[in-house]
Structure 1
């Protein structure tokens, strides 16, 4: 439970706050930033939760704002931190951008939201789609007759009476690959971040059951775990999933929200073979001209195709007069990024491609300076109908009391993560260089 919830600027000044209990002094909000500065001055790390004079401060930072909850009691800190993150999501849903100006322009709406999402310090309805049914984004005073029925039910994320002519459910398994390859060509860091995203256009109050090739589930039912079973880590679910049932028999059972949402996310810290391998050879001509040969290899099955492949190779910041020879795709020079970008619309599995680039150098460089890439090669891509982890949807069942038939659609996507980079480079001049 929280006594006060406040949003502060970076100077520690309260922009807006809501008091739910009268057991903490109003001055505690003003003490928040000096307390943080005092902790930093002592050389200690500021944690999301700390106490002072019997008062608990729990906070998160979003952009240039602090979201702070204050309590005198022994509150559930993890729950309050989760609540503050949900508050951020709700405000972004309403105002698109969460910043000091948007808060000052929408005091009325924010106070209405703070009254609805928390009662006497206890979190209540935190589903943005349900809140938007009766708290509208209007600058004037709102005319609220009564809350929707979903607020008074156990299923607070879905309204009653939803009807569709065609009942469909779309499920996307999206995996993002992060990896780092060192100069020796070895993968030094890799991980898979996965998410199961859904779009549900279903009538009534349906219950869905999702089955995955989960290793723990196979073992719990006495089935021999095959090579195709995977061991999910750091699994996080949407609030609609019945966690008790998942813990008992690993069944993912839920009543879905209407429309688009993320059902679950997971992580796999396993050794990953680069799906798209890129290396570059560099050659210098008297230190005033530099040539690159970039080779890309698709290291996935031939029946698969990577879409929107984008390879970024760094060059010296003062490079000029670019010239390119490329058999497939397009290349353009991005001087603001000090790099050239090779774009390939479709890259088939098992293919090798080669492109050449040439740049002039206004100032003469040494051989040692030219022989190294200023920054690692980065790769972006989308690979449809493929998952690196091997996760599979074994079944997706829709059960609704009216007995209608729903059409489930399942799609697999693998793409680059926030950090897919290769520091590999062929030995200087090891690839053939031909005149441009």
Structure 2
């Protein structure tokens, strides 16, 4: 989003990115590509999330000094400078118990390292100078999240996948890698790490890059050409006087070829429900505070479909439910990318040595809502 504020002397352009309840705001007086500023704001959010493990208002308040120091290193005179988390960790110490204890003992609030980062001697801004490993290896993970909305009739209102190609590179020197997919045409809205050369992707859909040292996100993407979900959830509510009969059935719709494990179904009981007695033929059912019901199914068996049923007691004076709950479904499938994206090959150009490479895939539920 871009806002333009004008006065008699200056015109300010404000750009913002909203992440995990936090608004990142950028301000500029000169004309500039808005996507460049938005990309930097997204990068800043990724760095903070990588440093602190999560991102919310309390974390920002508790680590305000580190946030200020990180932004000071990431921006130089209004221009992006150092944005790679692995290099920033060499400059600014991540928050931990040892660093907090030292700051209390020494009375210093600075987390900036006294030693100069190895990246200052490197000709590539996102990679340290000449890292050396006895075992050269690189691992590529396809991590995908499925977002879906299913109406009360079982119709699919929305189904898309947000995916990331995560790389863990531990290779000596300055390796030049190329990564290709068997079906890159399924990808939409791709976003690359700064190390990716755009021309090979634009012409041949090949990722050519010199990787940062360690773990990083090579690219992110979306896939919208999806017509079904791997599992189905069928809730049913039948009102009878002052009670309501609830039954929920969960099963495998399209067999992905791998076991679906860690399946959970969560929903919020309406405030006018006095009590609930729910049981299941597989897994456990727990009703937590604020009437949050969590059905932990675990691995879905192939011989029977898990089901949950029970009786809900409605508040006196009401004969039926006026507000039906929405069910949030979570699942995980190891070894499968539901988008159908497959890695073709990973090559190392002009390699003076052999290296080991490995590939994995994981799909999990993102915002998977079933309406009743």
TM-score (norm: length of structure 2): 0.82
Among 333, 341, 359, the alignment partner of 1:383 is 333
Partner of 1:81: 38
Partner of 2:307: 354
Task: Map 1:32-431 onto structure 2 (within 5 A).
Answer: 47-52=2-7, 53-60=9-16, 67-71=25-29, 73-90=30-47, 99=60, 102-103=63-64, 105=65, 109=69, 114=72, 116-136=73-93, 139-140=109-110, 144=114, 146-148=116-118, 150-151=119-120, 153-214=122-183, 230-287=185-242, 289-301=243-255, 303-336=257-290, 338-348=291-301, 351-366=304-319, 369-370=320-321, 374-399=324-349, 401-406=351-356, 408-418=357-367, 420-424=368-372
Q: 1:189 to 1:401 in 2, by over 3 A?
A: closer
Quote how far apart the aligned CAs of 1:374 are. Answer: 1.9
Classify the secondary structure of the residue corresponding to 1:352.
Answer: coil
Q: 1:177 to 1:133 in 2, by over 3 A?
A: same
Classify the secondary structure of the residue corresponding to 2:300.
Answer: strand
How many Å separate the matches in 1 of 2:193 and 2:13? 27
Q: CA RMSD in A?
A: 3.1
Q: Judging by fraction of residues, say which structure has more strand.
A: 2
How many Å separate the matches in 2 of 1:143 and 1:290? 62
Classify the secondary structure of the residue corresponding to 2:293.
Answer: strand
What CA deviation, in whole Å up to 9, does each residue of 1:25-69 have, x standing for no partner? xxxxxxxxxxxxxxxxxxxxx834544434333342665666443
1:109–1:139 CA contact under 8 A, matched in 2: no
Quote how far apart the aligned CAs of 1:204 are. Answer: 2.6
What CA deviation, in whole Å up to 9, does each residue of 1:352-405 have, x standing for no partner? 222222233352531xx33x6622222110012222221111112234643123
2:256–2:338 CA contact under 8 A, matched in 1: no
TM-score (norm: length of structure 1): 0.71
Whichever of the two has the greater Rg, that structure is: 1
- Runs of 5+ in structure 1 lacking a partner? 1-45, 216-229, 425-436
Quote how far apart the aligned CAs of 1:422 are. Answer: 1.6
What CA deviation, in whole Å up to 9, does each residue of 1:145-179 have, x standing for no partner? 6453x345442111123233333322221221112
How many Å separate the matches in 1 of 2:345 and 2:271? 53
1:192–1:269 CA contact under 8 A, matched in 2: yes
How many Å separate the matches in 1 of 2:269 and 2:113? 60
- Runs of 5+ in structure 2 lacking a partner? 95-107
Q: 1:92 to 1:376 in 2, by over 3 A?
A: closer
Classify the secondary structure of the residue corresponding to 2:324.
Answer: coil
Quote how far apart the aligned CAs of 1:410 are. Answer: 1.4
How many Å separate the matches in 2 of 1:349 and 1:209? 40
1:60–1:68 CA contact under 8 A, matched in 2: yes
How many Å separate the matches in 1 of 2:340 and 2:67? 48
1:275–1:300 CA contact under 8 A, matched in 2: yes
What CA deviation, in whole Å up to 9, does each residue of 1:285-338 have, x standing for no partner? 431x333221112112274211110112443324345333322111112341x3
Q: 1:383 to 1:84 in 2, by over 3 A?
A: closer
